[in-house]
Amino acid sequence: MPVTTNGWVEELGAERAALGRASTARRVADVLRTRITEGRLAPGTRLSEEEIGAALGVSRNTLREAFRLLAHERLLVHEFNRGVFVRKLEADDVHDLYAFRRILECGALRHAHATDESARGTAVDAVRRAVEAGESAAAAGNWVDVGTANMAFHQAIALFAQSPRVDEAMRHVLAELRLVFHVMAAPQTFHEPYLNDNRRLLTHVAAGEFEAAAQSLAAYLDAAESQLVTVFA
């Protein structure tokens, strides 16, 4: 065995993704994604291939590839021979998104008793960090950060499932929900009333009371959903 492998080489595997070059299509998708999730691209807007391709300096083919990526994340809808549009959510979509969230998040919490101790600890830590970040942002009146902290909170809840697929599904769901937040009347303060619920859930999961946490979260999501569907009334 050569002397070069002293054990630290294996750790490099974790950094593989860092140096992974991104395709142009992926980078294009990134800039469009942030524009969409930040609400700077109104739902229903049609995205012209020629126009955007020229603006970003990429060919139509590459741009179409980026469109496919975002369509798969349901941030764009692709209508054959008509073009791609920024996703516009209906009341049914919100209902389904919350149904999915209930299954994912409550399922993660109910699985928590079976996750190994170290992973459970990191999940609890992530939840705690999100709660504290939300509270301090609210104290500073920074409502945008309150929103992102709330997103981080629910993403942290999903960690209890200890499943990459649950993680990804959760990420996609939250990105989709952003499309609704921006069409609300007062998106700035939407998340603020849930800070108390988040804190309460934190005490539950920190104490290992996962079933109670799951039931509390289910009611929580019901309330949020019914508050959200009023946008479409």
Partner DNA sequence: AATGAGGGATTGTTGAACAATTCGTCAATA
Partner DNA sequence: TATTGACGAATTGTTCAACAATCCCTCATT
Phi, psi at residue 79, to the nearest 5°?
-105, 125
The pattern of x and - marking residues 187 through 206 that bind a copy of itself according to CB under 8 A reads --------------------
User: Residue 228's binding partner, choosing from DNA, a copy of itself, none, with beta-carbon cut-off 5 to 8 A by kind?
Assistant: none
For 105, other C-beta atoms within 10 Å of its C-beta total: 26
User: Residue 62's binding partner, choosing from DNA, a copy of itself, none, with beta-carbon cut-off 5 to 8 A by kind?
Assistant: DNA
Q: Of residues 70-109, which lie at the interface with a copy of itself (CB under 8 A)?
A: 72, 80, 96-97, 99-100, 102-104, 106-108
The pattern of x and - marking residues 135 through 164 that bind a copy of itself according to CB under 8 A reads --------------------------xxxx
User: Residue 99's binding partner, choosing from DNA, a copy of itself, none, with beta-carbon cut-off 5 to 8 A by kind?
Assistant: a copy of itself
Report CA-CA distances (Å) from 170 to 20, 47, 102, 165, 166. Answer: 24, 26, 11, 8, 6
Contacts for 75 with CB less than 8 Å, ≥ 6 apart: 33, 36, 37, 86, 87, 175, 176, 179
User: Residue 112's binding partner, choosing from a copy of itself, DNA, none, with beta-carbon cut-off 5 to 8 A by kind?
Assistant: none
What order do you get walking across the sheet with 76-79 strand by strand?
46-47, 83-86, 76-79
Contact predicate 71/170, CB 8 Å: no
Residue 16 touches a copy of itself, criterion: CB under 8 A: no
Q: 77 - beta bridge partners? A: 85
Of 36, 58, 69, 213, the residue at the interface with a copy of itself (CB under 8 A) is 69
Residues near a copy of itself (CB under 8 A): 20-21, 23, 61, 64-65, 68-69, 72, 80, 96-97, 99-100, 102-104, 106-108, 111, 161-166, 169
